[in-house]
Amino acid sequence: MLTYLRKRIISSAVPLLVVIVGVFALARMTGNPAALYLPLNATEAMREDFAIRNGLDQPIWVQMAQYFGGVLRFDFGSSMRTGESAADMALRAFPATLQLAGTTMVIAIVLAVIVGSAAALKPNGILDRFCSFLSMTAASIPDFWLAIVGIWVFAITLGWVPTSGVMGMAAWVLPVATLVMRPFGTLVQVVRGAMVSSLSEPYIKLARSKGATEYRVVGAHALRNAAAPGLTVAGDLTVGLVNGAVVVETIFGWPGIGKLMIDSILQRDFAVLQACVLLTAVAIFILNILIDVGYALLDPRVRPSAGAHKRRKARSEFRGQSNGPSTPSAPTANNPAAAVLDA
Amino acid sequence: MTQIQDKPLAAGRKAKTAGRLGRPSMFSMLLRDKFATVAAALLGVVILIAIFGPALMGELATKQNLMFMNKPPFDPANGWAYVLGSDSLGRSMLARLVVATQTTLLVAVPAVLVALIIGSLWGVWAGYHRGRRENISMRIADIIMSFPSLLLAVVVLFVFSPSAANIVLILAITRIPIYMRTARAESAELQSRTFVDAARTFGTKPNSIILRHVIPVVTPTLLTLATLEFCFVMLAESSLSFLGIGIQPPDVSWGLMVAQGRQYLQTAWWLSILPGLAIVITAVAANVLAAWMRIATDPAQRWRLTLDKQTKKSLTAVIKDAK
User: How confident is the model over B193-223, as pLDDT tens digits?
Assistant: 888 888 888 888 888 888 888 888 888 888 8
Q: What integer pLDDT is reported at residue B83 of this predicted model?
A: 67
pLDDT at A111: 92
**What was the pLDDT predicted at A304?**
53
User: DSSP character for A255?
Assistant: -
Q: Average pLDDT over chain A, rounded to whole?
A: 76
Q: What pTM value is reported for the model?
A: 0.75
CA distance B234 to A145: 13
Q: pLDDT value at position B113?
A: 93
Span A99-126, average pLDDT: 87
pLDDT at B311 over 70: no
Judge: B139–A16 Cβ closer than 8 Å, yes or no: no
Mean pLDDT of B88-113: 84
CA dist B268 and B87 (Å) reads: 8
**Contact (Cβ atoms closer than 8 angstroms) between residue B305 and residue B295:** yes
Q: Assess whether the previous peptide bond of A304 is cis (omega < 30° from 0).
A: no
A85 forms beta bridges with A78
- The closest alpha carbon to A151, from B148, B258, B221, belongs to B258
Strand partners, A78: A85
B304 contacts B290 by C-beta, under 8 angstroms: no
- CA B230 distance to own-chain centroid: 3
Query: Inter-chain contact A273–B150, Cβ cutoff 8 Å?
Result: no
- A and B: number of Cβ contacts within 8 A: 113
Cβ neighbours of residue A280 closer than 8 Å, sequence gap 6 or more: A242, A243, A244, A257
- At A330 the pLDDT is 35
Q: Are the CB atoms for B115 and B172 separated by under 8 Å?
A: yes
Q: Which of A30, A142, A151 sits opposite B239 (nearest CB)?
A: A142
DSSP state, A31?
A: -
Span A188-194, mean pLDDT?
85
pLDDT in tens, A305-316: 544 444 444 444
Q: Residue A163 and residue A133: Cα distance in Å, rounded?
A: 30
Ramachandran region, residue A244 (left: φ > 0; alpha: ψ -120 to 50; beta: rest): left
Q: Encode B278-293: b = buried (16+ Cβ within 10 Å), e = exposed.
A: bbbbbbbbbbbbbbbb
**A162-166: Cβ within 8 A, 24+ apart:** A163/A252, A164/A251, A164/A252, A164/A253, A164/A254, A165/A252, A165/A253, A166/A96, A166/A254, A166/A255
- For residue B265, which residues of chain A lie inside 8 Å, CB to CB? 148, 151-152, 156
pLDDT at residue number A189: 85
Residue B156 reports pLDDT greater than 80: no
Ranges A225-229, A293-297, A339-343, B19-23: which has the least confidence: A339-343
Q: Provide, as residue numbers in chain A, all residues whose Cβ is less than 8 Å from the Cβ of B158.
A: 29-31
Distance CA B119, CA B124 (A): 8
What's the rounded mean pLDDT across residues A316-326?
39
Eight-class DSSP state of A272: H
Residue type (1 letter), A106: V
For residues A30, B107, B123, B148, the Cα torsion angle rounded to the nearest 10 degrees is: 30
Q: How confident is the model at residue B243 (pLDDT cuts 50, 70, 90)?
A: confident
Q: Determine the Cα–Cα distance for residues B136 and A116; give it in Å rounded to an integer.
A: 37
Tell me which chain A residues have a C-beta less than 8 angstroms from the C-beta of B166. Answer: none
For residue A176, pLDDT over 50 is answered with yes
**Mean pLDDT across B153-160:** 74
Q: Which of B146, B154, B265 is nearest residue A265 as measured by Cβ atoms?
A: B154
Closest-CA distance, B243 to chain A, in angstroms, reads: 7
Q: Give the length of chain A.
A: 343
Any residues with CB less than 8 A from the CB of B248 and at least 6 apart, and which? B162
The topology (CATH level 3) of B34-322 is MetI-like fold (1.10.3720)
The domain locations on chain A are: 88-255
Confidence band, pLDDT 50/70/90 cuts, at residue B77: low
Contact A259, A93 (CB under 8 A): yes
SS3 B86: strand
pLDDT for A82 equals: 78
Q: What pLDDT is stored for residue B112 in this prediction?
A: 93
Return the CATH number of the domain spanning residue range A88-255. Answer: 1.10.3720.10
Could you tell me which of A183, A39, A169 has the C-alpha nearest to residue A115? A183
The whole-number pLDDT of residue B141 equals 85
Distance from CA of A167 to the nearest CA of B (A): 24
Beta bridge partners of B92: B86
Buried b (16+ CB within 10 A) or exposed e, B241-257: bbbebbbbeebbbbbbb
B71 versus A319: the higher-pLDDT residue is B71
Q: What is the dihedral of CA A231, A237, A243, A247, to 10 degrees?
A: -160
Min Cα separation B238/chain A (Å): 8
B280, A143: Cβ pair inside 8 Å?
Answer: no
For B238, the closest chain A residue by CA position comes to: A142
pLDDT higher than threshold 50 for residue B309: yes
Tell me what pLDDT residue B100 has.
87
- In this prediction, residue B230 carries a pLDDT of 87
Residue of A199, A194, A192, A217 whose CA lies nearest to A129 = A192
Q: What is the pLDDT of residues B105-144, one digit of tens each?
A: 888 999 999 999 999 999 889 888 888 888 888 888 888 8
With a cut of 50, say whether residue A95 has pLDDT above it: yes
Task: Indicate the residue of B146, B235, B239 with minimum beta-carbon distance to A19.
Answer: B146
Of A203-217, A322-336, B21-35, the range with the lowest mean pLDDT is: A322-336
Measured between CA atoms, the residue of chain A closest to residue B313 is A124
Decide if B276 and A273 are in contact by the 8 Å CB cutoff.
no
Q: Quote the ipTM score.
A: 0.73
DSSP bridge partners of B86: B92
More confident residue, B176 or A48: B176
Predicted confidence (pLDDT) at residue A18 exceeds the cutoff of 70: yes
Q: Which residue has the higher pLDDT, A90 or A333?
A: A90
Burial classification of residue B202, based on how many CB atoms lie within 10 Å of its CB (0-12 exposed, 13-18 middle, 19 or more buried): exposed
How far apart are the two ends of chain A, measured CA to CA in Å? Answer: 35
The answer to whether the Cβ–Cβ distance between B283 and A141 falls below 8 Å is yes
pLDDT computed for residue B319 by the predictor: 67
B interface mutation test: which of A145, A209, A265 has the most B CBs within 10 A?
A145
Contacts of B165 (CB under 8 A, 6+ apart): none
* B2 pLDDT more than 50: no
Tell me which of A149-158, A285-294, B309-318 is least confident. Answer: B309-318
Res. A329: pLDDT tops 80: no
> Among A21-30, B86-95, B128-137, B307-316, whose mean pLDDT is lowest?
B307-316
Instruction: Specify the higher pLDDT residue, B40 or A306.
Output: B40
Question: What sign does the CA torsion over B133, B137, B140, B142 have?
Answer: negative
Please give the backbone phi and psi of residue A134, each rounded to the nearest 5 degrees, phi first.
-60, -45
Q: Helix crossing, A2-29 with B149-159: angle to 10°?
A: 20
Predicted local distance difference test score (pLDDT) of residue A343: 30
Which chain B residues have a beta carbon less than 8 Å from that of A229?
A: none
Contact B206, B128 (CB under 8 A): yes
Is the Cβ–Cβ distance between B161 and B97 less than 8 Å? no
Q: Write down the pLDDT at residue B118.
A: 93
Closest C-alpha to A77, from A119, A20, A35, A37: A20
Calculate the dihedral angle through the C-alpha atoms of A56, A57, A58, A63, rounding to the nearest 10 degrees. Answer: 0
The count of other CB atoms within 10 Å of the CB of residue A329 is 18
Q: State how far the Cα of A43 lies from the Cα of A28, in Å rounded to an integer.
A: 22
Contact assignment for A250 to B243 by CB distance below 8 Å = yes
Contacts 24+ apart (CB under 8 A), B107-111: B107/B164, B107/B167, B107/B168, B107/B171, B107/B233, B107/B237, B107/B247, B107/B253, B108/B171, B108/B230, B108/B233, B108/B234, B108/B237, B109/B230, B110/B168, B110/B172, B111/B167, B111/B168, B111/B171, B111/B172, B111/B175, B111/B233, B111/B237
Angle at B250 between CA B76 and CA B274, to 5 degrees: 35
| B262 vs A contacts (CB less than 8 Å) | 148
Q: Which residue of chain B comes nearest to A133, CA vs CA?
A: B288
Check CB contact under 8 Å for B151 and A273: yes
Q: What proportion of chain A, given as a percentage, has pLDDT over 90?
A: 3
Contacts of B235 in chain A (CB under 8 A): 140, 142
Whether residues B266 and A152 touch (CB distance < 8 A) is answered with: yes
Residue in chain B nearest A248 by alpha carbon: B239
Question: How would you classify residue B65: left for phi > 0, otherwise alpha for psi between -120 and 50, otherwise beta?
Answer: beta
Q: In a 10 Å sphere around its CB, with 0-12 CB exposed, 13-18 middle and 19+ buried, how is residue A107 labelled?
A: middle
Greater pLDDT, B84 or B233: B233
